[in-house]
Amino acid sequence: MATDAPPPPAGTEPVQPTTEAFIEVQESAEFGELRRSHRAFAFPLTVAFVLWYLLYVLMSSYAGGFMGTKVVGNINVALVFGLLQFVTTFLIAWLYSRHASTQLDPKAAAIKSRMEADA
């Protein structure tokens, strides 16, 4: 049984910034710094991960002998590389989460607060 919340009292709806305000913020140095901080983290890690993935694919295709080398028991180099793809993915997600919470979120919150105050 779902109950709908009553509408907020008249005049208490959040005021939306204008299109001009969004453009002004987009062109600001503060927003540029937020964008640079995101790109400085995301782009290098993306390139590194794609290269790491391509190495795995190319080695699987062209270095079958090496990839089939036994490491321990029935575990070979290809399986280790494949599992490391998952480890790398989760590591990057964790690193990005830390970066976002310490570097990006405070800057974004400051921009949002300023925009809401100006609206």
pLDDT of residue 2: 54
Q: Averaged over 5-24, what is the pLDDT?
A: 74
User: Where does residue 58 rank: exposed (0-12), middle (13-18), buried (19+ CB within 10 A)?
Assistant: exposed
CA distance 68 to 79: 9
Q: What is the pLDDT of residues 81-112, one digit of tens each?
A: 999 999 999 999 999 999 999 999 999 999 99
